Amino acid sequence: MEAKHRIEELRKTITEHNRRYYVENAPSISDYEFDQLLKELEKLESEHPEYASADSPTQRVGSDLAKPSQEKTGGFVQKTHRYPMLSLSNTYSIAEIEEFVQRADKALGGEKFSYSCELKFDGTAICLRYKDGRLSEAITRGDGTKGDDITRNALQISNIPHKLHGDFPSEFEIRGEVMMPYDSFERLNAQRLEKGEAPFANPRNAASGSIKLLTAEEVKERGLFCTLYHIPAESIAFASHEEALDKAASWGLPISDSRKICDGIEGIKQYIDYWDIHRSELPYATDGVVIKINELSSQRSLGYTAKSPRWAVAYKFKAEQASTKLLSIDYQVGRTGAVTPVANLESVLLSGTIVKRATLNNAELMAEMDIRVGDYVFVEKGGEIIPKITGVDFDQRAPGLEKPVFPANCPDCGTALVKAEGEAKWFCPNDSGCPMQIKGRILHFVGRKAMDILCGEAGIDQFYSAGLASSPADLYSISKLQLVALEGWKEKSAQNFLDSLEKSKSVPFERVLFALGIRYVGETTAKSIAKHFGDIEHIAAASVEELTQIGDVGAVIAESVYAYMHSPVGLEQIERLKAAGLQFAAEADQGPKSDSLSGLSIVVSGNFSIPRDKIKEMIAAHGGKVSSSISSKTSFLLAGEKSGPEKLKKCEQLGIRLVSEAEFMQMIPGEKAVRKEEIIEELTLF
């Protein structure tokens, strides 16, 4: 009964971790810890076949399928895979790779075969289907049998071709990984922190979350890319995996160039050893090496288990880890008041960089690890950008070390900290008097995506210390005389700062709204709110219910906006910034420039020499209406390069004419000359 109880316990635990990993994109344990749980379950099920179950996580892959509630609100339609999309067996042991090679030799008898060694990319799996050379469907792995149709999002990934070239088959599918490069990951997390949102733990989680966004335009901004590595052997007539991928590359598909064909275990070991060292030089995350039998006839002979192919195995790198001494713990206060413990460490080299600090996240994690100043701690980067402490080396703990006490009061202003029910973080509620919060809000206000004022953290520290600025509105009262009296400020730097202040008065309303630093209101949300209400007065008069009518505004954001608009501090800031000359209303509609397109319903498709959004603005500015779909009421299709084949086909069926970009420009008075001037202006920049 003890074995049965443990099997049931492991199944429940693994299923929950699968949900967190694939659906929530918020894993709570490392890949290594998860794999050890799975191996324990596999061992117990092997020893006790009487407890076998088809529903066990050892018999099925983790699922990333959209929740039913998401599907009903404009989410994703589920499609069945033509061939099962399985996971790979994982190992951290070279000995197990040797066993894999021995099993293959024995099973294939005297057949001559080789191995294809490839990097294991740390992203989210995708299946692309091409028909007549055009991308027809993109589907997530899902539960291995069916996945979510994310075609509209895949079309936003820059290196996934919409149309192929060369001698491609009339219909086929190819599988790979969608990833987020480190630079895109860092940029995204910086944006999330600015909004007061939790950062993604690693690029894999960020990629997985991004590919399932409901707004395709937002997917495009995430900087994703794709690498493809497998065409199902059942669907093609090539002799080898290598030949299939070489041909796919010739059709324009993004295939990894890190592949290597090896004849046996020694070549495989050399490949693993090389990339265990050099993977840190790559601009994206990898977590291991995949070894596949290269010959497709041999793959077909070996077949599959219920969960994995027998002709492939994944060797996973252990996350790079170092041991170093914890010197002290700082408690930082962010602009939203959240208090975060940060560990100061003895310098240690990790994944090619010197690490001196690492986040400890919150008080609960500190208590769980039983961490103490003076301990030697394990620091890990692995696929992560931000170093984290994963544990304490208790064997090296010196006697007499005391447990750190998480502060009960704000480390900056002394106010008693508070914690909402269900939250892990403690907050300083003194938002109007806490120096760190005040300076953090000013720093947010002057940021490039907000007011774009020429002032950094050091300058804000000076302004605050000198009593010149304790709120964003105070910046507009600082004089040149006051500036040049500060250390390091010269006539020119002072004038540049004042000029940027003056220029900020023309920043559009949506950026001003973002700059206010309302909790949970990021750049995109600010734009939606500004567009919906038009000016600050209508936002201030809106109820929570009215705010939630905006597409990307939920209850939490709505309540935060409402609270800010009804707080004395918020209202005072708005009035003072208004008096300084900032824009608190969207630009008034100037009406159409002409009626040359009046009464016309126009569908826009394809790529143009100028952004498509600008094309649509031009149509509206001259009295036309932009439609998203072809119908009998469509006046014409404005067809750029790579126009949608379905739209072209429907136009032919309905007898709707096609208009080129050049013809379109001739239809609009004055636009051709303006466009020519824009091109000349662009050329002078280079």
Label residues 121-157 b or e (16+ Cβ within 10 Å = b): bbbbbbbbbbeebebebbbbbbbbbbbbbbbebbebb
For residue 414, tell me if it sits in a domain.
no
**Residue 151: what residue type?**
T
291 CA to centre of own chain: 28
DSSP label of 19: I
Asked whether residue 380 carries a pLDDT value surpassing 60, the answer given is yes
One domain for residues 242 and 262: yes
- The domain tally of the chain equals 5
One domain for residues 309 and 335: no
- CA 8 to each of CA 55, 353, 520: distance values in angstroms, whole numbers, following the listed order: 11, 43, 40
DSSP label of 488: T
One domain for residues 306 and 200: yes
120 counts as catalytic: yes
For residue 596, tell me if it sits in a domain.
no
Phi and psi for 193 in degrees, rounded to 5? Answer: -65, -35
CATH number where 199 lies: 3.30.470.30
Sign for the CA dihedral angle at 431, 437, 443, 449 comes to: negative
Marked catalytic residue, from 39, 79, 120, 480: 120
For residue 62, tell me if it sits in a domain.
no
One domain for residues 471 and 346: no
| Measured CA angle at 133 (ends 130, 138), to 5 deg | 25
CATH number where 611 lies: 3.40.50.10190
Token pair 């209303």 is found at: 585
Q: Could you report the per-residue pLDDT of 483-528, keeping only the tens digit for each?
A: 999 998 999 989 999 999 999 999 999 999 999 999 888 877 888 8
For residue 66, tell me if it sits in a domain.
no
Cα separation, 518 vs 417, whole angstroms: 20
DSSP label of 395: G
Asked whether residue 14 carries a pLDDT value surpassing 90, the answer given is no
* Residue-level pLDDT at 23: 57
One domain for residues 178 and 110: yes
Indicate the range of 78-82, 571-575, 618-622 predicted with least confidence.
Answer: 618-622
Answering whether pTM is above 0.75, one says no
Token pair 């703990």 is found at: 397
Both tokens assigned to 338: 């959240």
Q: Could you report the per-residue pLDDT of 469-494, keeping only the tens digit for each?
A: 999 999 999 999 999 999 989 999 89
DSSP label of 21: I
**Residue 24: what residue type?**
E
Both tokens assigned to 362: 């919150």
DSSP secondary structure string, 208-248?
HHHHT-S-HHHHHHTT-EEEEEE--GGG---SBHHHHHHHH
Residue 40 or residue 193, greater confidence? 40
Q: Could you report the per-residue pLDDT of 93-133, keeping only the tens digit for each?
A: 899 999 999 999 999 987 889 999 999 998 899 999 999 99
Mean pLDDT of the chain: 84
Residue 381 or residue 458, greater confidence? 458
* Residue-level pLDDT at 12: 80
Q: Are 113 and 624 in contact (CB under 8 A)?
A: no
* Residue-level pLDDT at 70: 40
Mean pLDDT of the region 458-469: 93
Q: Which domain holds residue 615?
A: 601-683
Query: Of 575, 572, 551, 546, whose CA–CA distance to 561 is shortest?
Result: 546
For residue 427, tell me if it sits in a domain.
no
Cα separation, 255 vs 235, whole angstroms: 18
One domain for residues 378 and 450: no
Query: Of 142, 30, 125, whose CA–CA distance to 79 is shortest?
Result: 142
One domain for residues 332 and 443: no
Token pair 């003056």 is found at: 502
* Residue-level pLDDT at 29: 65
* Residue-level pLDDT at 64: 56
One domain for residues 17 and 160: no
For residue 412, tell me if it sits in a domain.
no
Q: Could you report the per-residue pLDDT of 194-214, keeping only the tens digit for each?
A: 665 667 767 888 888 888 887
Asked whether residue 75 carries a pLDDT value surpassing 70, the answer given is no
Cα separation, 127 vs 147, whole angstroms: 9
Phi and psi for 388 in degrees, rounded to 5? Answer: -135, 150
Q: Could you report the per-residue pLDDT of 313-369, keeping only the tens digit for each?
A: 999 887 777 889 999 999 989 888 889 899 999 988 775 567 888 888 888 889 889
The residues pairing with 286 across neighbouring beta strands, listed in sequence order, are 121
One domain for residues 480 and 570: yes
Residue 232 or residue 131, greater confidence? 131
CATH number where 28 lies: 1.10.287.610
Counts of helices then strands in the chain (DSSP H, E)? 26, 21
- CA 452 to each of CA 168, 200, 499, 547, 586: distance values in angstroms, whole numbers, following the listed order: 49, 26, 11, 27, 18
Cα separation, 211 vs 156, whole angstroms: 10
Phi and psi for 259 in degrees, rounded to 5? Answer: -75, 155
Residue 37 or residue 250, greater confidence? 250
One domain for residues 362 and 439: no
Of 545, 580, 615, the residue that ends a domain is 580
Cite the DSSP H helix spans in 403-456.
435-446
Q: Could you report the per-residue pLDDT of 265-314, keeping only the tens digit for each?
A: 999 999 999 998 888 788 888 889 999 999 999 998 898 887 788 999 99
CATH number where 474 lies: 1.10.150.20
Both tokens assigned to 372: 């103490």
Both tokens assigned to 9: 């316990």
| Measured CA angle at 116 (ends 140, 133), to 5 deg | 45
Of 343, 365, 396, the residue that ends a domain is 396
Of 275, 299, 316, the residue that ends a domain is 316
Q: Angle at which helices 265-278 and 94-107 pack, to 10 degrees?
A: 150
For residue 415, tell me if it sits in a domain.
no
Percent of the chain topping pLDDT 90: 43
For residue 64, tell me if it sits in a domain.
no
One domain for residues 495 and 640: no
Asked whether residue 25 carries a pLDDT value surpassing 60, the answer given is no
Q: Are 119 and 285 in contact (CB under 8 A)?
A: no
Helix (H), strand (E) at residue 90: strand 90-91
Any idea how long the chain is?
686
Q: Are 262 and 82 in contact (CB under 8 A)?
A: no
One domain for residues 450 and 489: yes
Q: Are 361 and 198 in contact (CB under 8 A)?
A: no
DSSP label of 352: T
